[in-house]
Structure 1
Amino acid sequence: MTILAAIGEERHPKKVLETSAELAARYDSRLVVLHVVPRDDFETHKELLEGNSELGGFTIDQEAKSAAEFVRLAVENVLGEFDDESIEARGRVGDPTEEILAEAERTDPEFVVIGRPRTSQLEKAVFGSVPQNILENTDYNVVSTVIGSDG
């Protein structure tokens, strides 16, 4: 069995990681933690890095590896360690909703754990929301934690 946790950079992933680790322990499941770098952010990173001729080309694969390393560091920071036997770090580049749903299809998780910011219904309607899109477009069990500046 697998638990899939999706974390972002904008807010500290503490609550998502703690909740997903608790579920993984409770159900004796492997924890897959995913970080998706939006395509626009990748393009910005690429432009900045390619401005330095010593670094050469910057690829989507390199960005995905960087995203996986972000996951590893976040897990170590929040949970105290990264156990390769029970946790897998994954990074992707693209539309966050699409990539999270695609990862859910690949891993067939028992639960998908996501964070959602405290926002009003009006903000969600106007700006959209990755967590809202996931909730509306999947049949998987989704656990949504409210996140803020503290977690």
Structure 2
Amino acid sequence: MAIETTLLAVGPSDADRIDRLAEEAIDIAGPTGATVVLGHVFTKSEYSEALDNLDFDVTAEEVSADDVARRHATIRKLVSQLADEDIDYDVRGRIGDHGEELVELASEVDADQLLVGGRKRSPTGKAVFGSLAQEVMLSSPCPVTFVREDTK
């Protein structure tokens, strides 16, 4: 199976593992020539907060989730790292439930692989708080690679 499109899920808590996510995406996309789709899902409140933080003039224009994602600091850093390695990329933003939207986006872009970041969590923590990575792994239309943050 050729890898042509890799979806890299980027969320609000991924700033600490951005270098690991970029490294994994580059390791996959570099040799295969795949396009990396940077997918950032916002809840409605995260989207509203990002609009305020990024100083969008919502009275002058309609601002899409793609626009907000492109200006998000985490995405900009990833874009810079991918561009430095001559990796083709696309940025997609979505608004809604993180897990559901990532799975839908993976289908939409016909992803061959999905990269999702996370942290080590106890079984009790997963049961109480849920696990986005687990939800995505169980529902994804393509193989999922879990990228754990460095524990140095």
Give the TM-score normalised by the residue count of structure 1: 0.78
Distance 1:59 1:137, change over 3 A: farther
Distance 1:30 1:67, change over 3 A: same
The CA deviation at 1:64 is 3.5
Counterpart of 1:23?
28
What CA distance in whole angstroms lies between the structure 2 residues aligned with 1:63 and 1:29? 24
Deviation string, structure 1 residues 33-68 (Cα, Å, up to 9, x no partner) = 11111122224456x68xx9xx45498734441112
What CA distance in whole angstroms lies between the structure 2 residues aligned with 1:58 and 1:124? 42
Which 10-residue stretch deviates more, 65-74 or 116-125? 65-74
Counterpart of 2:113?
111
Letter in 1 for 2:29: A
Distance 1:17 1:60, change over 3 A: farther
The CA deviation at 1:124 is 0.8
Contact 2:116 2:144 in 1 (8 A): yes
Letter in 2 for 1:27: T
What CA distance in whole angstroms lies between the structure 2 residues aligned with 1:22 and 1:112? 13
The CA deviation at 1:139 is 3.8
Structure 2 unmatched runs, 5+: none
What is the RMSD of the two structures over their aligned residues, measured on CA atoms?
Answer: 3.0
- The list of structure 1 runs, each at least 4 consecutive aligned residues, that deviate by more than 6 angstroms after superposition, is none
Letter in 2 for 1:14: D
Counterpart of 1:9?
12
What CA distance in whole angstroms lies between the structure 1 residues aligned with 2:71 and 2:151? 22
Other structure's SS at 1:108 match: coil
Give the TM-score normalised by the residue count of structure 2: 0.78
The CA deviation at 1:28 is 1.8
What CA distance in whole angstroms lies between the structure 2 residues aligned with 1:95 and 1:60? 21
What CA distance in whole angstroms lies between the structure 1 residues aligned with 2:75 and 2:103? 21
Counterpart of 2:104?
102
Counterpart of 1:123?
125
Counterpart of 2:41?
36
What CA distance in whole angstroms lies between the structure 2 residues aligned with 1:60 and 1:8? 23
Contact 1:3 1:109 in 2 (8 A): yes
- Give the total of aligned pairs: 145
The CA deviation at 1:25 is 1.3
Contact 1:76 1:82 in 2 (8 A): no
What CA distance in whole angstroms lies between the structure 1 residues aligned with 2:59 and 2:131? 32
What CA distance in whole angstroms lies between the structure 2 residues aligned with 1:7 and 1:56? 24
Distance 1:114 1:67, change over 3 A: same
Q: Percent identity?
A: 22
What CA distance in whole angstroms lies between the structure 2 residues aligned with 1:88 and 1:28? 14
